Structure 1
Amino acid sequence: MKLLLTSAGITNASIHDALVGLLGKPIAESNALCIPTAIYPFPGGPAMAYRFISGATPNPMCELGWKSLGVLELTALPSIKEEYWTAAVREADALLVYGGDVWYLQRWMRESGLAALLPSLRDTVYVGISAGSMVTAPIFGETYDDPAAPFVIDQGMGLVDFALLPHLDHERHPESSSARVQKMAAEVPVPTYGIDDQTALKVTDGAVEVVSEGRWKLFTR
């Protein structure tokens, strides 16, 4: 599987070009499924999910001009025939995984069966935003509700061999200050990237390339 792990979506030309390179063809010739599941636990989650799907958020993703766009709601998958949704996933060129609550997303990635399917998708591009990127790590840590609280460390999907925290030094995300990311990196047994909203990590066959028009830092234990 190829991955483009972003903090805030396709926010600049460099990240856009990285996406097209991973797809191997123009976005206008590519089919995508968007996954809004992680946003529902937040206040106003249903409205935020709609804005993501309709392209009305500050996180460019669904509105990029895809040939076709569908919605893959993870909480619905256990109640429908597996062959139906797995066929849709295998036919997609890209999976657009929105941000929100990383623990909720991790739970439903596993309970839906998608986490087990992802490693077999050799040509699919996984595009994450915020929590959608964080959940790909083998292990992650976060404290959304109280940035002063100890980190809660949990197991991710292990699609990559590093952890990441998005929104590096963003004024609205005190949990992602450089100092906080450094502290988390000391507790996580894998390298940790802090990336701002103008940065993405491009992963192909396990090789990591930083794509940035902003700021990022690699923290090691």
Structure 2
Amino acid sequence: MKLLLTSGGVTNTSIRDALIGLLGKPIADSSALCIPTAMYGHPWVGPGTKAWQFISGKSENPMVDLGWESVGVLELTALPSLDEERWVPVVRETDVLLVSGGDALYLSHWMRQSGLADLLPTLGEKVWVGLSAGSMVMTPRIGEDFVGWRPPTGDDRTLGIVDFSIFPHLAPDGMPGNSMDEAEQWAAGIVGPAYAMDDQTAIRVVDGTVDVISEGQWRHFPA
């Protein structure tokens, strides 16, 4: 898969251009599935109004409302009760998966339970656009600072599709969000490489090559 791992969604022209480049065609000619599952595991964003806002493209994070040719919903908690032929072809035929923020461990759990995690390596040129937890789920671990819902394993491990961790919503000191001091303390406990990034930043991963697209602030923490 091609990954566009964002903190706040497709918030500026640079991130939008990167998305179009990954798609290889205009957004208006591309189909999308949105995945709201992570929201249900986080007390600040779901269930309820904010989940509906994400699905309907009325949230503060530009993703579903970018002008797609079509948008559907893929709810991972429902998939274990369905035969694979009901949903796997839909995923394969869709150009991009738009994955909401919320609780990364809850999302990781349901990606495994639903079978989507096992399907990912077979999806070739599919584009994954993550928002906060939807990005963090692709990393090896999220760090104890971001643990809310705790999985049966009891730890902070996620899918490990990439080899770095992500500290999202970086904000200047004194402003709403996560501070650089907090990011430094978090990174010290991660052990592996990591990135802290604000909502104007995304990380693009294609064929193992990682680069940062930003009109804001970010920092790389080596292993």
Taking structure 2 as the reference length, the TM-score comes to: 0.91
SS in 2 for 1:96: strand
2:163 match: 161
C-alpha separation in 1, matches of 2:110 and 2:28:
30
- TM-superposed CA distance for 1:124, in Å, is 0.3
User: For 1:101-140, what aligned pairs fall within 5 Å after superposition?
Assistant: 101-140=103-142
8 Å CA contact 1:140, 1:153 repeated in 2:
no
Residue 112 of structure 2 aligns with an amino acid whose one-letter code is R
1:149 match: none
SS in 1 for 2:143: strand
- TM-superposed CA distance for 1:45, in Å, is 2.4
Residue 30 of structure 1 aligns with an amino acid whose one-letter code is S
2:17 match: 17
SS in 1 for 2:184: helix
8 Å CA contact 1:137, 1:160 repeated in 2:
yes
Task: Name the count of aligned residue pairs.
Answer: 214
Q: Deviations over 1:128-168 (max 9, x none)?
A: 0000000100222143589xxxxx96111111111111101
Quickly say closer, same or farther: Cα 1:163–1:212, change in 2 above 3 A: same
Counterpart check, 1:98 vs 2:100: yes
2:91 match: 89
SS in 1 for 2:25: coil
- TM-superposed CA distance for 1:179, in Å, is 1.7
Question: What percentage of residue pairs aligned between the two structures are identical?
Answer: 57
Which blocks of at least 5 consecutive residues in structure 2 are unaligned?
Answer: 149-153
Residue 30 of structure 2 aligns with an amino acid whose one-letter code is S
Which blocks of at least 5 consecutive residues in structure 1 are unaligned?
Answer: 147-151
User: Which segment drifts farther, 178-187 or 64-73?
Assistant: 178-187
Quickly say closer, same or farther: Cα 1:192–1:144, change in 2 above 3 A: closer
SS in 2 for 1:59: coil
8 Å CA contact 1:186, 1:220 repeated in 2:
no
Taking structure 1 as the reference length, the TM-score comes to: 0.92
Question: Aligned to 1:211, which of 204, 210, 213?
Answer: 213
Could you list the runs of 4 or more consecutive aligned residues of structure 1 that deviate by over 3 angstroms after TM superposition?
none
C-alpha separation in 1, matches of 2:143 and 2:176:
18
User: For 1:46-57, what aligned pairs fall within 5 Å after superposition?
Assistant: 46-57=48-59
Quickly say closer, same or farther: Cα 1:35–1:57, change in 2 above 3 A: same
8 Å CA contact 1:119, 1:159 repeated in 2:
no
Q: Deviations over 1:5-39 (max 9, x none)?
A: 00010000000000000000000110110000111
Quickly say closer, same or farther: Cα 1:7–1:142, change in 2 above 3 A: farther
C-alpha separation in 2, matches of 1:201 and 1:153:
25
Residue 15 of structure 1 aligns with an amino acid whose one-letter code is I
C-alpha separation in 2, matches of 1:65 and 1:54:
12
Counterpart check, 1:181 vs 2:165: no
Q: Deviations over 1:19-67 (max 9, x none)?
A: 0000000001101100001111325522111100111111000011111
2:67 match: 65
